[in-house]
Amino acid sequence: MDFHIFCFILITIFILYSPCYSDKGYYGFMKDATLAPTYARFDYIVIGGGTSGCALAATLSQNANVLVLERGGSPYDNLAATNIENFAITLLNTTPKAWSQLFISEDGVYNHRARVLGGDSVLNARFYSRAEEAYVKMAEWDIDEVEAAYEWVETKLVFKPQVMGWQSALKNGLLEAGVVPYNGFTYLHINGTKIGGTIFDPAGHRHSAADLLAYANPDGIVVYLHALVHKILFTTTREGERPKAYGVIYQDANGVFHKAELGKNAMNEVFLSAGAIGSPQLLMLSGVGPMAHLESHRVNPVVLDQPMVGQGMGDNPMNAAIVPSPQPVELSLVQVVGITRFYDFIEGGSGLNVSFNLTHKLFDGMLDLLNQRLRLNIIENVGVVFHKVDGPLSRGYLELRNLNPDDNPSVTFNYYREPEDLKRCVKGLETVIKVINSNAFSKYKYPGVTARELLNVMLGLPINLRPRHETSTFNLTQFCIDTVMTIWHYHGGCQVGRVVDKNYKVIGIDALRVIDGSTFLKSPGTNPQATVMMLGRYMGQRILRERAAFREKDCDYSTVVPTKDETSIGYSSSKKKKF
């Protein structure tokens, strides 16, 4: 029951999950894995049809034959879930086939991972904002190619939000609190206050990374849903030789195992795009990771002793204040962001409504608590202002619990372990207090209620499993520790320079790359989804250019000869068409 109360509170706080999907139907190349042959070969195999995987696969399909293996279902299958009043049901549904998979970090913080084509872009707050210029330079990406890749995503998915009363007051409150200048509507990451993009269109329909598959060459791609990859296959090597990825083993919903291999072409590769939880987990399950840890779980064989797999796990910690309003507020998601001088972010959302089909018991319980704490008579007009620490220094790790790839591994983020992160949290909450107390925001806050009282309400809510301390009521440092939550921007585990190189190739292994948020040293921009989708497109184009350059050297491309089992989806690398 505590988890359900927590989810209800998150709905109150963020209105973050509104699984509204495109009504375009489904793609002809998208099938259930039960229809897959037991064996087939492809030029490229993409593990994970998520935020990066869809962009990557759509791009690669223009000049190669691509297999996408997604462990979840299609966001286009359940049209009822597109209605905003049903989003709470979708969020709370964490059954084995649901789109949202609950996990709780070892820090005692509730979290989730997506299990649906399109990944977290199907479940998130829909806010769209690019990475900061310094991030692009640090990653050593080509600026012009990055710009083009962002635009490729934006053309298909991104819109300008309609900013109304509560969000406008938040914007003006941020400016009054000193988060200046005002930068208007922009996708760019600029210090000050701005309005960002949204992946909701003007009619209120969600778009997601799954929509990027509309760019794909339908003759060059197949997407299998409910395809659970168990391991990546590597060539058996003699001592001193580098292992090479050559295929994968995956399981369909009926429990049948399938094998997909790369065709006989030196440029063919396997891509791991299973996210910051799934990618390091699958590397370990495939025998790539810390040897002692793998041996303790009887992973056999250990292909490569790589102690950095699963290390560097980070999550942007978030702390929030619920703000009851004396007047009606619009239903709004994250539209406005304040990027502070100390580089942290302040955002907000509004519009609690009982039409979300939550039980009245939970709804009334939440309001009763607010009424008791603040001595108010609140009906349902509630907003939230929250702060999140960008690029926290505190880092953790991921470890296996068992050998089931569908189970959650053990994840520790070590929120606020580093004193500098705590100092920034305190600065951020001090700014939140200024925003709530500002003249601009006053019409959306009950008179006589202090911002500190609103913060203290959080101490009585089951927002995490961490202990509460009496000092939290007057000490912001302890408040940060006690009420920390996730903003779902976790990253790391396969980081650049540690597990993969600058081209996202797994160090020490051939024909295997990781292209997703697990490679990040920090989360890009205010919200990472824009850059994760961009990265899939950016790297896809680079890889295709490498392939074309290799062909120009007059290297032989061996035609794959299909077996009887391959003929339904097998591909010829030379003819680029289905058998």
Instruction: Catalogue the active-site residues.
Output: 489
**In angstroms, rounded to a whole number, what is the distance separating the alpha carbons of residues 340 and 428?**
8
> Who contacts 256 (Cβ-Cβ below 8 Å, separation ≥6)?
34, 38
Instruction: Count CB neighbours of 178 within 10 A.
Output: 14
**In angstroms, rounded to a whole number, what is the distance separating the alpha carbons of residues 130 and 524?**
8
Burial 85-119 (b: 16+ CB within 10 A, else e): ebbbebbbebeeebbbbebebebebbbbbbbbbbb
In 3-state terms, what secondary structure has residue 45?
strand
Query: CA dist 380 to 39, 242, 315, 367, Å?
Result: 55, 61, 31, 8
3-state secondary structure 474-515: CCHHHHHHHCCEECCCCECCCCECCCECCCCEECCCECEEEC
Count of residues in the chain:
579
Instruction: Count CB neighbours of 35 within 10 A.
Output: 12
Residue 518 and residue 275 in contact, taking contact as beta carbons nearer than 8 Å: yes
- Written as six digits, the tokens of 170 are 């938040």
| CA-based end-to-end distance of the chain | 53
**Strand duo 66-69 + 44-47: pairing:** parallel
Token pair 């034959």: residue: 65
**Strand duo 221-225 + 30-32: pairing:** parallel
**In angstroms, rounded to a whole number, what is the distance separating the alpha carbons of residues 305 and 302?**
7
**In angstroms, rounded to a whole number, what is the distance separating the alpha carbons of residues 332 and 527?**
17
Q: Which backbone phi and psi does 111 adopt, to 5 degrees? A: -150, 180
User: What is the distance, to the nearest Å, from the Cα of residue 148 to the centroid of all Cα atoms in its chain?
Assistant: 22
SS3 content of the chain, % helix, strand, coil (to 5): 35, 20, 45
> Who contacts 307 (Cβ-Cβ below 8 Å, separation ≥6)?
289, 290, 291
